[in-house]
Structure 1
Amino acid sequence: MSVVSSSPILSPSSGRLSSNSSTNLPLFSTSFTKPISQKRYPLIVFSYKSGTGLTSEDKKELLKRYGLDPDEFLSEPSPKTRRRKEGRGSKLVVSDEKSQEERTTHRLLQVLGGKARRKKLLSPKGMDVRPMMEVVKGAAFDILQSAGGCPASLRPGRWLDLYSGTGSVGIEAISRGCSEVHFVEMDPWVVSNVLIPNLEWTGFLDVSSIHTVRVETFLERAEQFVGKDGPFDYMSVTPPYTAVDYEVLMAQISKSALVGKDSFIVVEYPLRTDMLDTCGCLVKIKDRRFGRTHLAIYGPDWAQKKRKSEKKIPIVT
């Protein structure tokens, strides 16, 4: 196993801090290129993961060095709470100075099509994470498959799942034919207790990369993630409605190196939100409403022409 690090992190093989001052990449950037005990783990970028072997003082010093609050990152659940984590759900107590909030999971979502069809997925109880409704997700993939010229499955390619949460959209993409998915989710609890267990349960952990970072930061540093593979073939954008400015977000995406001339973008947005007819070099090929939720899909010009030509084909009875 080799660990490529841009900042002081723990090397899993040695249990010691290491550093690389010759690069200037983000905090806690880790790349695993060979498996531990013959098992490949996902790439986790900008993430802090407990159980690294560091002492409490080492962890506090490391976080302070980067201007972070150790109390925010190092709060741990009680032993009693850890024993509750079992079966189909898990529980974790998140502590602060004023109150304790219990976060739990349940299995309400499922994969709709492909290799993992009907497999149930974990999701957090409450409204802190709002997964895409299944009717919206099903419609999005039907449109993408048709626009790509393969109604039975997705064209092979790389998918970027922004605001991934449970990973439901990205997992659906792998199940239906995508070869690789990158998940961007800023909540470490959701990553550890929901996203990674869902990827393990569906068997897609080996073709997944997880980026525990704000979407805005990920987009700002897009070029370092594109690398030799070029733009993503697909992108899903499912943010919490009240937490983003869609005009600013879509402008940032349209100028990003993550998007190419043959990319498809799926955007879920709320009622009374104006979405442009274009996103960079892409055009809007579909815009549908599901109650208070809207779904816009952008794609290359050839996909729009293909859908229009399909509508003109007469039905022979």
Structure 2
Amino acid sequence: MAVVSSSPILLPLRMNLGSSSPNIPLFSISSRPSNRPRPIIVFSYTEAGDGLASEEKKLLLERYGLDPDEFLSEPPPPKTRRRKELQKRGRGKSVQPPEEPKPPRATHKLLQVLGGKARRKKLLSPKGMDVRPMMEVVKGAAFDILQAASGCPAALRPGRWLDLYSGTGSVGIEAISRGCSQVHFVEMDPWVVSDVLRPNLEWTGFLDVSIIHTVRVENFLERAEQFVGKDGSFDYISITPPYTEVDYGVLMGQISKSPLIGDDTFIVVEYPSRTDMLDACGCLVKITDRRFGRTHLVIYGPTWAQKKRKP
């Protein structure tokens, strides 16, 4: 800090307030002609850990006519520290633009029940590719094969059906319509369950004989014993997963070792091209493997239902 005065020039010296030596002169005075510019007093000091106390510094500064508040006040924090302090208080945070709301999901009626009690009833399905229901030509072929293999060409034999990756529920609803006594639906998307699957069950009148599990298929398989309960294994299992989100080798390995299947269980699996399916799933053998364009359908069942091969 510089102080302008009319007194003779005081040569600038560095004064260590922390020094306790009384022999060091504080100022050096020299006489100058009166016609020279106004003299300047320069006063500076450095801090030391074992120097004068704050009260002694204050008295010393007042003795020489200087303002102690200006010399002893702490310097303002640098910009970086100030910016951090503002961010801690919530004031300097970068403002993120609000996310655009996603358009509401909608449904349409493009599916229908192909046979049985609810034949020709329309079913809801989501618009877009969020859920990919089984094609009706594939679904019709699957139930025709199951009915013929189980010895009841006109209908399914009564039993319990497990519909994995159920989505719209069209496969499980078809099973109830054709003679199944109960269907367990496994679907992880709450919106699909509340706005598609449940309304379809209410519309067809099958809600009372349906059990919905809003859970991932992987978690359902891990707790298979809990879901099987006293009723034992299922008579039918349908597996129609999203092609790109599952590993068929891992999935079929889990199912083959689970208590969900029994000696008389039929398993219907829809899978894409360039996927290798085993000839057996646990104690079940491959009954048929058909192709519908880029979609393939394989059905596993008990050995007594396997078609006789031509010699």
Fold-level match, TM-score > 0.5? yes
Counterpart position of 1:260: 262
Identical-residue share of aligned pairs (%): 84
Q: Secondary structure at the match of 2:305?
A: helix
- 4+ residue runs over 3 A deviation: 96-99
2:231 alignment partner, one of 220, 229, 232: 229
Q: Secondary structure at the match of 2:114?
A: coil
Indicate yes or no: 2:278 matched with 1:276: yes
TM-score of the two chains, using structure 1 as the length reference? 0.66
* 1:97, distance to aligned residue in structure 2 (A): 4.2
How do 1:132-281 residues align onto structure 2 when only pairs under 5 Å count? 132-281=134-283
Matches of 1:159 and 1:130 in 2, distance apart? Answer: 20
Render the CA deviation track for 1:38-92: whole Å, top value 9, x for unaligned: xxxxxxxxxxxxxxxxxxxxxxxxxxxxxxxxxxxxxxxxxxxxxxxxxxxxxxx
Matches of 1:97 and 1:209 in 2, distance apart? Answer: 37
Larger Rg, first or second structure (1 or 2)? 2
* 1:99, distance to aligned residue in structure 2 (A): 3.3
Counterpart position of 2:5: none
Counterpart position of 1:289: 291
Q: Which amino acid aligns with 2:104?
A: E
Matches of 1:98 and 1:214 in 2, distance apart? Answer: 28
Matches of 1:97 and 1:188 in 2, distance apart? Answer: 22
Q: Secondary structure at the match of 1:102?
A: coil
Render the CA deviation track for 1:122-162: whole Å, top value 9, x for unaligned: 00000010000000000000000000000000010000000
Q: Secondary structure at the match of 2:263?
A: strand
Counterpart position of 2:123: 121
How do 1:99-114 residues align onto structure 2 when only pairs under 5 Å count? 99-114=101-116
Matches of 1:116 and 1:208 in 2, distance apart? Answer: 15
Render the CA deviation track for 1:94-138: whole Å, top value 9, x for unaligned: xx9443232000000000000000000000000010000000000
TM-score of the two chains, using structure 2 as the length reference? 0.67
Matches of 1:291 and 1:103 in 2, distance apart? Answer: 29
Q: Secondary structure at the match of 2:147?
A: helix
Matches of 1:128 and 1:299 in 2, distance apart? Answer: 31
* 1:308, distance to aligned residue in structure 2 (A): 1.7
The structure whose RCO (Cα within 8 Å, separation 6+) is larger is 1
Structure 2: which 5+ residue stretches go unaligned?
A: 1-97
Counterpart position of 2:308: 308
Q: Secondary structure at the match of 2:105?
A: strand
